[in-house]
Amino acid sequence: MKKKWITIGVIVLAVVLIYSSFKGSYNTMITYDENVGEKWSQVENVYQRRADLIPNLVNTVKGYAEHEKQTLTDVIEARAKATSVNITPGNLNAASMQQFQQAQAGLQSALSKLMVVVEKYPDLKANQNFLELQAQLEGTENRIAVERKKFNEATKTYNVYIKKFPKNIFANMFGFDAKPYFEAIKGAEVVPTVEF
């Protein structure tokens, strides 16, 4: 009789320990996954801020540089393409991340060309509205860098957690997959040539 109670006690203890391990691992994975989603929302937030500044910037430049219509059109089209790529925490994967980054790189390239055009117009460079918009855009670019860094840190924490043993077994059982990092676009390390 005593052996039977000891055996039942050991089985109950083992079940409780296994349950606690599963529960703790699952809840931690959910917490880290939600943190990645929240950080991604902040990345999108600052990119949206940049996209919101662009129409004002284009309108300010338009008044001074009317014969630069192609550059202005390129910026507007790049903005439309960049804002059309939407990633949610549910579809945050390598393919959607690459599509998002390419659209943002296109917008960044168009903005860079616009800034080169601006150099041709001294009156525009002295315009107070333009100077304020340029300062806001520069500040937004800094915010983007900060939020991308925070996103990558949260992604690293999540990815490391779900890849460690025995958490990787639980992650596979519960369908938790590694999240992609925000990486530089290929060719970003090459310094662009600017000609006047």
Cβ neighbours around 114 below 10 Å, total: 20
Residue-wise pLDDT tens digits, 77-129: 999 999 998 888 888 888 998 899 999 999 998 988 888 888 888 887 778 88
Interval 163-177 mean pLDDT: 91
pLDDT at position 5, please? 87
Work out the average pLDDT over 130-156. Answer: 92
Reply yes or no on whether the pLDDT at 37 is more than 50: yes
- Model pTM? 0.78
Structure-block tokens of residue 145? 């860098």
Sign of CA dihedral 37, 43, 44, 46: positive
Measured in whole angstroms, the distance separating CA 146 from the mean position of its chain's CA atoms is: 10
Q: How far is CA 130 from the centre of its chain?
A: 27
Q: Is 87 exposed, middle or buried (0-12, 13-18, 19+ CB in 10 A)?
A: middle
User: In this predicted structure, what is the pLDDT of residue 139?
Assistant: 92
Residue 34 has pLDDT above 90, yes or no: yes
pLDDT more than 70, % of the chain: 92
Which range has the worst mean pLDDT, 36-45, 110-119, 157-166? 110-119
Which one-letter amino acid corresponds to residue 36?
V
> Lowest-confidence range among 33-37, 90-94, 175-179?
90-94
Q: Which amino acid is at 81?
A: K
What are phi and psi for residue 194, nearest 5 degrees? -115, 125
Burial class (CB in 10 A: 0-12, 13-18, 19+), 155: buried
Give the pLDDT mean for 163-191.
Answer: 81
Res. 192: pLDDT tops 70: no
Alpha carbon distance, N-terminus to C-terminus of the chain: 94
* Greater pLDDT, 121 or 31: 31
Higher per-residue confidence, 46 vs 71: 46
Residue of higher predicted confidence among 194 and 65: 65
At 187 the pLDDT is 53
Of 12-16, 105-109, 118-122, 190-194, the one with minimum mean pLDDT is 190-194
Q: Is 24 left (phi over 0), alpha (psi -120 to 50) or beta?
A: alpha
Nearest of 36, 10, 64 to residue 151 by alpha carbon: 36
